Amino acid sequence: MGIYIARRLGQALLVLVGVSFISFGAIFLTGDPASLMVSETWTKQQVDEFRHRMGFDRPWIVQYGDFVGRAVQGDFGTSLRTNQPAFGLVMERMPATIELTLAAMLFSTLIALPVGIVSAVKRNSAYDFFVRGATVLCQAVPVFWLGTLLILFFGVELKVLPVSGRGTWQHLILPAVSLGTVALARNTRLIRSSLLDVLNENYVVTARAKGLKERRIILRHALRNALIPVVTLLGLQFSMLLGGAIITETIFAWPGVGRLAVNSIYNRDFPVVQAAVTLLASIFVLVNLAVDILYTYLDPRIRLK
Amino acid sequence: MSARVFKLIGVFAALILIGLMAPATVGATTPPAADADKPLVIAIGTDPETFNPMQIRARTTWNMLMHITERLFARDKDMQMKPWLVESYERPDDLTWKLKLRKGVKFSSGDELKASDVKFTILETQNAKWKSPNTFVVETNVDLTNIEVPDDYTVVLHTKKPAPLLMESADYLPIVSEKQFKTATDAELALKPVGTGPYVIKEYVKDDHVTLERRDTYWGTMPDYKTVTYRPIPNSQTRLAELLAGNADIVLNLSPDDVAKVKSNPSLRVETVQGGRDVFIGIICTTEPFTDKRVRQALNYAVDLDGIFKNLLGGNGERMASVTNLSSTKLKPYTYDPKKAAQLLDEAGVVDTNKDGIREWKGKPVQIELGTTKGRYVADAAIAQSIASDLTAAGIKTDAKAYEWSVYVDMINGKKLPPLFFLGLGSSFNGEQEFFYVQKDFGFNSTQWLNEDFEKSFTELQRTMDPKARGVLIDKIDQIVQDDAPWIFVWKQVDFYGANNRVEFKARPDELIMIYDVHPAAK
């Protein structure tokens, strides 16, 4: 158990080091970072002085060490556009992104659970065929297309929900549905297949032989075990939704981290890009780590391996 | 919970899924009654980068800030320069500007605007910390060691050389409060600007909305709207949806593809205006065979721009004759004339000897790249693609290649653009700034075009104070540029806005929306 956790921690650390390399190296991908940050009217001498002041003339390994040293303290420098601390700008938008991600997860899980269960119980029925078809469709739908469709239908045609922006709980519905639809389809399929696997297990057959009611068999015995892989998927999904929120945030003008990151890329505001990339990647890694550890409690077979 | 309940939940959830997939249609919008007490809602493309007046570069942010801070001179809706915070001015000689400020103008902080604030603003543009867009224009024109403030309402500026367009060049220089700049933190300057304008920031939620509130202590004519809300919505389809849903009053940067959809809605309208932005294909004049003027002229004759305007832009747009806004009305633009293009290319020795449809120069087929931006200017990539087809049809095999702006700007700065490049540069509507775009020392000019007549006449223009003499010179220079053709002259970009009929609003050529000029329709 201890070795398992230590190994996972080591892997997570390695990934974070990789992230820091990518995040640091990104500013050099488009050439000389100093030339991005100065006005076009500056002379070569002014640019050279600026490069020296910013430390871009030092060996890259020294610059990288400096970057990591500051990053672990949450210091990514100040935004080139607003002069405000880059990390602070990202953290300001984090609640909006987390809110959207959680809402999308809630939407996808709450619907997927009953739909997936009924689909498994009524295997090969017309209902099951329909649900399987619908989930394939939902997985294939591009977020930007679905988002625009939802806006036109509920926001413009029916005028029952706000088109874009953040404020009331109504503002959350369309972006959450748009972001959560792919997850909804995946969860439904996983719950269905996971439950089907479990329903063929010996302990379920025994329960049936004992004469227990079908509802009790499914909810008490089968579902609990079927949910183990689902928990893993939900953990991974949280991270994926967090990253996938970029498109949804742009379509619905949602003031989250993804949109900030995209704007900062366009504005070449690399301290903010670095802060956003590092933070999102760190959350991704930490959530995965948490899921891995949680898994050992849910399924003792893992920690015994 | 019975299996039946499960089933019901399942069916309900499935129905939601079907509902999500249902096709949607867009219908007519009923506008709420016009009312100046309701906020005017303007949907824009990007969030303000900062509200620090010393740092702003984006036009959308100026649109907000110009109602909070004000300038010494400002253009009216006809693009005429008018004194604004300045009550009167005189120029005792070619090197001196004596400005008399209005009295009783108060900042939103309650302090009165004084000449010392103007002097401070001008000097603060040189503070390297801000990287102000005005640094260059102020530093090259104004003698910064000799700004006189004889009394609280008089500022005397001395220029290093005759600068007839000094005030117009500093068109985007809002006067700031010296007191605020000396006491506030950087973050406060970025978020809570203090100015003499009619509005203050009531609420700013980053990436969501900026709400301006009218203040009663404003010195000038009060705008109709008590509050104005700017909503940054990056996706053009979402901006359109907010207009269709009746939530936005004015929408910026409407896509030409959506014009018909807006026009078909009786509650909405499309406002178009020919802006000042010069959109052109730059020709790198040191690349053979473009060293020959006849080849550059042939490129202009080979392009069917009227067809492009008709097919891509719904008939909006006119071919640009030359560089400025002023004399282009007197000059006739190049016309689409493939025969003339072929004749000029033949004369220049760019001939299709092997009859494969591609002309050769010194034995090699002429195959070139046309670099273009994508999404930065109206229909940029599509226009570039059409132009590339026309040039290929004329025997100059041209491949259009689109780049992200951040990459493209690097190519401009690094002088790494291909032989033909698409670009759009804004105007100050003064008939002079645009000529910089083809001047040999201008940083953004990648054409490497050098014409002695042009350089001489342009230098003369910069020193000429008399408006009539300036007009003659501008005509002459436009003629030189058109004839020597360092560009394929495309168009003065037409800007598209969507508007709800509950507001009276006319688009301005300088891409600004001044709230003074927007009124509830009932008024």
Tens digits of residue pLDDT in A267-297: 777 888 889 888 888 888 888 888 888 777 7
Establish, for the pair of chains A and B, how many residue pairs have beta carbons separated by less than 8 Å. Answer: 164
B125 CB near a chain A CB, below 8 Å? no
B441 CB near a chain A CB, below 8 Å? no
Inter-chain CB proximity B444 and A82 less than 8 Å = no
Distances (CA, A) of B512 to A258, B236, B519: 29, 19, 15
Give chain A's length. Answer: 305
Angle B411-B413-B414 from CA coordinates, rounded to 5°: 60
Distances (CA, A) of B228 to B67, B106, B299, B308, B508: 10, 21, 47, 37, 18
Inter-chain CB proximity A256 and B207 less than 8 Å = yes
Q: Do strands B397-403 and B367-373 pair parallel, antiparallel, or not at all (unpaired)?
A: parallel
B286 CB near a chain A CB, below 8 Å? no
The DSSP H or E segment spanning A236 is: helix A223-251
Is the full-model pTM beyond 0.90?
no
The Cα B416–Cα B411 span in angstroms is 5
Inter-chain CB proximity A138 and B17 less than 8 Å = yes
Q: Which of B:62-121 have CB within 8 Å of A?
A: none
Inter-chain CB proximity A215 and B3 less than 8 Å = yes
Cβ(B505)–Cβ(B272) below 8 Å: no
The Cα A273–Cα A179 span in angstroms is 22
Contacts of residue B25 in chain A, CB cutoff 8 Å?
152, 157
- Other Cβ atoms within 10 Å of B59 Cβ, number: 15
Distances (CA, A) of B436 to A39, B135, B325, B329, B462: 17, 17, 14, 20, 11
- Minimal-distance CA residue of chain A relative to B135: A41
Rounded (10°) CA dihedral B6, B7, B11, B13: 20
Inter-chain CB proximity A134 and B242 less than 8 Å = no
Inter-chain CB proximity B24 and A156 less than 8 Å = yes
| Full DSSP string of B144-159 | TT--EEEETTEEEEEB
Burial B441-464 (b: 16+ CB within 10 A, else e): eeeebbbbbebeebeebbeebbeb
Cβ(B338)–Cβ(B301) below 8 Å: yes
Inter-chain CB proximity A163 and B237 less than 8 Å = no
Amino acid at B139: E
CA distance A87 to chain B (A): 14
Distances (CA, A) of B18 to A134, A186, B104: 8, 17, 64
CA distance A39 to chain B (A): 7
B26 CB near a chain A CB, below 8 Å? yes
**Which range (A54-68, A220-234, B404-418, B481-495) has the least confidence?**
B404-418
Of A30, A155, A157, the CB nearest to B25: A157
What are B102-107's contacts with CB under 8 Å, separation 24+?
B102/B153, B102/B219, B103/B153, B104/B219, B105/B196, B105/B219, B106/B196, B106/B217, B106/B219, B107/B177, B107/B180, B107/B194, B107/B195, B107/B196
For the cut 60, the answer to whether the pLDDT of residue B512 exceeds it is yes
Output the pLDDT for position B329.
57
Contacts of residue B245 in chain A, CB cutoff 8 Å?
155-156, 159, 163
Of A118, A141, A149, the CB nearest to B24: A149
CA distance B205 to chain A (A): 8
Contacts of A279 (CB under 8 A, 6+ apart): A87, A90, A91, A94, A257
Output the pLDDT for position A286.
87
The Cα B52–Cα B54 span in angstroms is 5
Band of the pLDDT at B467, cuts 50, 70, 90? confident
Q: Which two tokens stand for residue B52?
A: 């620090």
B46 CB near a chain A CB, below 8 Å? yes
Output the pLDDT for position B3.
47
Band of the pLDDT at A43, cuts 50, 70, 90? low
Inter-chain CB proximity A156 and B26 less than 8 Å = yes
Please compute, for residue B384, the number of CA atoms within 13 A of its CA located in the half-sphere on the CB side: 28
Inter-chain CB proximity B20 and A159 less than 8 Å = no
Inter-chain CB proximity B27 and A157 less than 8 Å = yes
> Which position has the higher pLDDT, B484 or A216?
B484
Of B47, B131, B238, the CB nearest to A263: B47
The Cα A275–Cα A261 span in angstroms is 9
Of A84, A177, A253, the CB nearest to B232: A253
B17 CB near a chain A CB, below 8 Å? yes
> Which position has the higher pLDDT, B486 or B28?
B486
For B315-338, what is the mean pLDDT? 80
> Percent of chain B, pLDDT > 90?
40
Band of the pLDDT at A6, cuts 50, 70, 90? confident
> Which position has the higher pLDDT, B466 or B39?
B39
Output the pLDDT for position B166.
77
Cβ(B485)–Cβ(B296) below 8 Å: yes
Inter-chain CB proximity A251 and B235 less than 8 Å = yes
Contacts of residue B14 in chain A, CB cutoff 8 Å?
115, 127, 130-131, 134
- Minimal-distance CA residue of chain A relative to B204: A255
Rg (CA), chain A: 24
For B303-327, what is the mean pLDDT? 84
Residues pairing with B98 in the sheet: B90, B156
Rounded (10°) CA dihedral B427, B433, B438, B441: -130
Q: Which of B:400-419 have CB within 8 Å of A?
A: 405-407, 410, 413-414
Inter-chain CB proximity A163 and B241 less than 8 Å = yes
The Cα A36–Cα A30 span in angstroms is 9
Of B2, B14, B443, the CB nearest to A134: B14
Distances (CA, A) of B266 to A165, A296, B30, B263: 26, 63, 9, 7
**Which range (A242-256, B34-48, B202-216) has the least confidence?**
B34-48
The Cα B508–Cα B523 span in angstroms is 20
- For residue range A179-230, list pLDDT tens digits in order: 999 999 999 999 999 888 888 888 888 888 888 888 888 887 888 888 888 8
Inter-chain CB proximity B24 and A152 less than 8 Å = yes
Inter-chain CB proximity A127 and B244 less than 8 Å = no
Q: Which of B:202-241 have CB within 8 Å of A?
A: 205-209, 231-235, 237-238, 241
Contacts of residue A82 in chain B, CB cutoff 8 Å?
49-50, 190
Contacts of residue A215 in chain B, CB cutoff 8 Å?
1-3
Of B22, B29, B238, the CB nearest to A164: B238
Which of B1, B2, B5, B6 has the most A C-beta neighbours within 10 Å, making it the best mutation to test the interface with A?
Answer: B6
Band of the pLDDT at B24, cuts 50, 70, 90? very low
Band of the pLDDT at B283, cuts 50, 70, 90? very high
Q: Which residue has the tokens 């005397």?
A: B156
Cβ(A268)–Cβ(A38) below 8 Å: no
B296 CB near a chain A CB, below 8 Å? no
Output the pLDDT for position B26.
33
Which of B235, B262, B407, B409 has the most A C-beta neighbours within 10 Å, making it the best mutation to test the interface with A?
Answer: B235
The Cα A30–Cα A38 span in angstroms is 15
Of A89, A130, A163, the CB nearest to B238: A163
CA distance A22 to chain B (A): 19
The DSSP H or E segment spanning B240 is: helix B236-244
For A107-136, what is the mean pLDDT? 91
Inter-chain CB proximity A253 and B233 less than 8 Å = yes
- Minimal-distance CA residue of chain A relative to B409: A36
Band of the pLDDT at B13, cuts 50, 70, 90? very low
Which of B2, B15, B20, B61 has the most A C-beta neighbours within 10 Å, making it the best mutation to test the interface with A?
Answer: B20
Inter-chain CB proximity B17 and A166 less than 8 Å = no
Contacts of residue B127 in chain A, CB cutoff 8 Å?
none
Q: Which of A66-80, B74-88, B97-111 has the highest mean pLDDT?
A: B97-111
Contacts of B40 (CB under 8 A, 6+ apart): B225, B227, B228, B229, B249, B250, B503, B515, B518
Inter-chain CB proximity B14 and A260 less than 8 Å = no
Q: Which of A66-75, B195-204, B318-327 has the highest mean pLDDT?
A: B195-204
- For residue range B207-227, list pLDDT tens digits in order: 889 999 999 899 998 999 999
Inter-chain CB proximity B244 and A251 less than 8 Å = no
| Full DSSP string of A33-95 | HHHHHS-TT--HHHHHHHHHHHTTTS-HHHHHHHHHHHHTTT---B-TTT-SBHHHHHHHHHH
